[in-house]
Amino acid sequence: MAKIIIDREKCKACLLCVKACPFGVLEQGSEFNQKGYKFIRKKQDRECKGCGLCFQVCPDTAIEIREEK
């Protein structure tokens, strides 16, 4: 299992990570960051598998994936 960390201030809500995730873990939130974007967040009922596709497609390096022990 992995932990996904999204830097809400770097996120520009391009939705590339949401589209890239084969497990449907990510969604666009309803809160705004300081730049006025509705940043991406992890869905409450889903677990990140750590495939890294979201990290790879993010143009703003707003996503980090950490392996959980």
Q: How far apart are CA 65 and CA 36, in angstroms?
A: 24
pLDDT at 68: 83
Q: pTM score, two decimals? A: 0.91
Task: For residue 36, give both structure tokens.
Answer: 């006025």
Q: Tell me: the pLDDT tens digits for 10-68?
A: 999 999 999 999 999 999 999 999 999 999 999 999 999 999 999 999 999 999 999 98
Task: For residue 32, give both structure tokens.
Answer: 């705004």
- What would the DSSP string read from start to end of 24-42? --EEEEEEE-TTS-EEEEE
Q: How far apart are CA 23 and CA 11, in angstroms?
A: 20
CATH architecture of 2-67: 2-Layer Sandwich (3.30)
Q: Is 54 exposed, middle or buried (0-12, 13-18, 19+ CB in 10 A)?
A: buried
Helix, strand or coil for residue 18?
A: helix
pLDDT at 14: 97
